[in-house]
Structure 1
Amino acid sequence: MKRQEHKNRKNQLKMNQNYYVHKDTRTIFESPTDGHSYFFGYYDKSPFDATDTLLLTHRTDFDGRPITAEDEAEVGFWNIGTREFTTIGVSRAFNWQQGSHLQWMPPDFQSRIIYNDRRDGQFVSVVYSVDSGEETVHSCPIYAVHPSGRFALAANYERLYFCRPGYNYPGVINRTWDVPIHEEDGIYRLDFYTGEVTQVIRTRDVVDIGYQSELEDCDNWLEHMMWNPNGTRFAFLHRWDSGNEGHRTRLFTADADGRDIYMFPDVGFYSHMNWKNDQVFTIWALVPSGRSKIMQDFSTSSSLLYKTAKLAYQPIKMLLGKKRAARLVRNTAFINYTDQSRELTILGREVLPDNGHNSWSHDERYMLTDTYQDDDCYRHLWIYDSENNSTESIGKFYSLYNDSEYRADLHPRWSRNERMIAVDSAHTENRKLIVLSATRKE
């Protein structure tokens, strides 16, 4: 039975140079094999302009290693129809996961482009005018641009250098920030009209919410800010280094001015998230139940019971694979949270088995997501139908670079009209930016 299911599954996919896509899915665009690596970055923004004809891209002449202070990435865009690439600048403040936060500026997503750079020994952000070619340089790098396009939230990248490998920028080493908690660290707000930078949330104030004395000796930082669609509130993560257990995470939201901060259940583990609408967002996390609390305490103990469980984990992993075995032990799932409440629902428990970078369609029915590599080093691309509680496989992509700072997560992004999907893929030595047609179950 399993052999027949595998055969049927294989017949539903077609191969294209170490990646497979659904038989009804077309490859609309793929960056060329020309010795360069092409990628966009994170999944919380779209590389497509308002017309879905221009595709923002980073281009490098290296791959397969961490980024150094000497490295540069061209920033520009492809014309999907003509296959022409236009360079608009060079970034010296980028990483493999999030790029330089390159993006089309709202609200029109067409006339201006913004990206981070390093100039004169300082991290900055650059706003580029598509029509005139002129640029405006701001004294602060951006993280999450407000939907109005008037201002942006900013992270402290000089601080992230010391505590967030893979999501930091090399090139500026300021030892002032190399402390567990810096009183001036936090989330900042950059006003694009005045250039003024103000602090809206202090890391210290977040640490003091549900205070735990152990945090005083850990590296603490704030990251992954995401605006809800109307820009009335944003979500962010508080993370700290817990030593051999890796980093731990708490989830918060705040209003546009950084006030009215709300903390969600302190389960210790939150991962990829995205807003479904202004009140609800979806996140892969530990389920905040009696069982999950037991498992959380259990997993961080040094008891004989924990040592016994570690031995039992190995045969479970052999049967189910590493990712699914870890999920079984930790009780993790996609959760729909309602902001500023304890209301939650578990999403697709039977059909969404893995952590992924998720984003919702405008009608709130379909969720686009991916997976980390499976045991054969393939990353899977899915569309989840929330009405039917089912998933549709869009494809799977072989990955050369895994479990490292320079891994290539698919980070799937909808086009503006949601008829296309863009992914970053390292199925070859030089990663590629690929655009696929978006198929759905009706």
Structure 2
Amino acid sequence: MSDIPAVNFPCPVRRVGNGDKHYFFGYYNKNVWDRSGRYFLSNRVEMLTKDLNGSEIAQVGYFDLDNNDEYHAIGETTTWNWQMGCQLQWLEGKEEREIIYNVRSTNGEGTIYPDFCSKIYNVETGEERALPLPVYVVAPNSKYALCVNYSRFEVTHKTIGYRATDNEPELELAPADDGIHYMDIETGESHLIVNLQQLKEFNHVPSMEKAIHWVTHLEINPGSSRLLFLHRWTERVEDETCFLHRLFSVNPDGSDLRLLECTDHPLPQLADDFDIHSVGTFDYEKSEYQISHPVWRNDISIMVWGPHNGSIHYHLYDDLTVEATVVGRECLTENGHMSYSDDDRWLLSDTYPDAETNERFLIIYDAEKDIRYNIGSFYTSPDLGKHNRCDLHPRFSPCYTKVCMDSVHENIRQRYIIDIAELLQQG
């Protein structure tokens, strides 16, 4: 890390709340603050770490940042994991403050994936209503959500899966009745827009034939008019370095499916004598073939960490031309969880732990001046392992003068807010 050109610019950091319990949010791609910047979403649990079996309860709620960080619990869920939480997020397109999150189905709400569904909570009225599918991401206009089979994650990518209530379902490798579902937020009506058999047959390559397939990293552009996702497949689910990747975009009705990148490659790890214990916790995140953490910069541009033309970087893809350009070639040299400011100038991201120090950098990149700022460095214990780890997963505030993160650098799982106003003024 020391050889990477960067400006060290430490910014003020404060813990949210009093730290009486463990708090976390999860993935980097959801808005934590409401529009006013006052209410700050968070899950609350009793433990720092635990291998989850589907019975653990997480409280769901928000901090009131204008009232001494008072925490308001709005419900509970057993449908969560350390990486994604319960997919807690604001329905930003609604006039009133409404929150959606995933819960376990106990009375048959789930029509397609019977173990899991979702719930909407109105902060203004306290009213709740259930929807029949668990959500992955909600469109910015809050008219629809994209939904996936979390039981498939439990097999293919356990870090982001949900344990079944009873027995795990038997999964076909690439069925035509599983994939990406479009769900109407008002009615709960849903239909499949992209299926796994379709993806297996689209520009088919031999490595897909015996592999299990799934979709992940779904994102919807700011105009709610187009979505992206990763198609992954593997013959060895227990070893993430054996995952193969493709980046797609598609319309919300499933039309105009467009392949932006494919990283099919030979896998020596499939040899019978391969030692799975030789793979480090973060080797997968540092693979030269991985496509990960794609986000829309605007309605037609997609930022992603991945390889293109034989070289891995932060790449910016034009969704119309499928052309890719490198961003931060010299200074953004590691995989991270990135997002852009509204004016497209500032890129927020992080790094995975350094192999020697176990420190992670929190990064702000000035795309206009091609300058990387390290605004903080935070330790994580290597004992947490893969499924219980706590990535920083940074996110901008609505006014873009603050960012937040999850962290365990104080030996407790907590939420933090970092003030970046001085840095932005300098820029």
Gaps of 5+ in 2: 107-113, 265-289
Cα deviations across residues 86-113 of structure 1 (Å, max 9, x unaligned)?
0000011111111101011121485100
Equivalent pairs counted in the alignment come to: 385
Is the 8 Å Cα contact of residues 91 and 142 (structure 2) preserved in structure 1?
A: yes
Q: Choose from 256, 267, 270 the match for 2:291.
A: 270
Residue type at the aligned position of 2:406:
D
For 1:154, the equivalent position in structure 2 comes to 147
Q: Which has the higher helix share?
A: 1
Match of 2:335 in 1: 355
- Amino acid corresponding to residue 184 of structure 1 in structure 2: D
Structure 1 stretches lacking a partner, 5+ long: 14-21, 293-330
1:26-65 CA-to-partner distances (Å, cap 9, x unmatched) read 234433232x210111111121011111100000111222
Quote the Cα distance in structure 2 between the aligned partners of 1:226 and 1:173: 30
Q: Is the 8 A contact 1:49 1:110 kept in 2?
A: no
1:362-411 C-alpha deviation (Å, 9 max, x unpaired): 10011000000012011110100111111111101111255411110100
Residue of structure 1 in register with 2:312 after alignment: 332
Aligned mates of 1:112, 1:177 — CA distance in 2: 35
Per-residue deviation at 1:261? 0.3
TM-score, scaled to structure 1: 0.83
Instruction: Give the whole-Å Cα distance in 1 for the aligned partners of 2:180 and 2:200.
Output: 13
Deviation at 1:180, TM superposition (A): 1.6
**How far apart are the structure 1 equivalents of 2:26 and 2:409?**
16
Q: Where does residue 362 of structure 2 map in the other structure? A: 381
Which residue does 2:200 correspond to in 1?
207
Q: Which moved more, 1:189-198 or 1:122-131?
A: 189-198
CA separation in 1, counterparts of 2:17 and 2:306?
34
SS in 2 for 1:116: strand
| Contact 1:400-1:428 within 8 A present in 2 as well | no
**Structure 1, residues 284-326: CA drift from partner, whole Å, max 9, x if none?**
1012x2xx1xxxxxxxxxxxxxxxxxxxxxxxxxxxxxxxxxx
SS at match of 1:126: strand
The code of the aligned residue for 1:238 comes to: H
The answer for the alignment partner of 1:60 in structure 2 is 45
CA displacement 1:231-254 (0-9 Å, x = unmatched): 111000001124364211111000
Contact 1:50 1:110 (C-alpha < 8 Å) held by counterparts: no
Question: Whole-Å Cα distance in 1 between the matches of residues 357 and 15 of structure 2?
Answer: 26
8 Å CA contact 1:101–1:115 kept in 2: the answer is yes
Change (3 A) 1:109 1:57: farther
| 2:94 counterpart of 1:113 | no
Q: Which residue of 2 aligns with 1:418?
A: 400
* Partner residue in 2 for 1:135: 128
SS in 2 for 1:240: strand
Task: Find the counterpart in structure 2 of residue 284 from structure 1.
Answer: 305
Residue 404 of structure 1 is matched in structure 2 by 386
Cα RMSD for the two superposed structures: 2.2
Work out the CA distance in 2 between the residues paired with 1:212 and 1:173: 36
Quote how far apart the aligned CAs of 1:173 are: 5.4
Distance 1:384 1:70, change over 3 A: same
2:231 is paired with a residue whose SS is: strand
Correspondence for 1:341 among 305, 318, 321: 321
Question: Contact 1:158–1:172 (CA<8 Å) still a contact in 2?
Answer: no
Q: After the TM superposition, list the runs of 4 or more consecutive aligned residues in structure 1 that deviate by more than 3 angstroms.
A: 172-177
Alpha-carbon spacing, 1:110–1:42, altered in 2? closer, same or farther (3 Å): farther
1:390 to 371, 378, 382: 371
Report the 3-state secondary structure (helix = DSSP H, G, I; strand = E; otherwise coil) of the residue aligned with 1:250.
Answer: strand
Q: Counterparts of 2:188 and 2:410 in 1: how far apart (Å)? A: 41
Partner residue, 1:321 = none
- Report what 2:276 is aligned to: none
Counterpart of 1:295 in structure 2 is: none
Q: Which residue of 2 aligns with 1:319?
A: none
Q: Relative to 1, partners in 2 of residues 1:152 and 1:396: Cα closer, same or farther, differing over 3 Å?
A: same
1:174 CA displacement = 5.6
Aligned-residue sequence identity (percent) comes to 31
Structure-2 residue corresponding to 1:76? 61
Q: Could you tell me the TM-score, scaled by structure 2's length?
A: 0.86
Match of 1:254 in 2: 250
Aligned counterpart, 1:100: 86
Query: What's the offset of the Cα at 1:122?
Result: 2.2
CA displacement at 1:157 relative to structure 2:
1.3
Return the offset for 1:154.
0.3
Q: Distance in 1 between matches of 2:94 and 2:171?
A: 39
* Alpha-carbon contact 2:151-2:169 (below 8 Å) kept: no
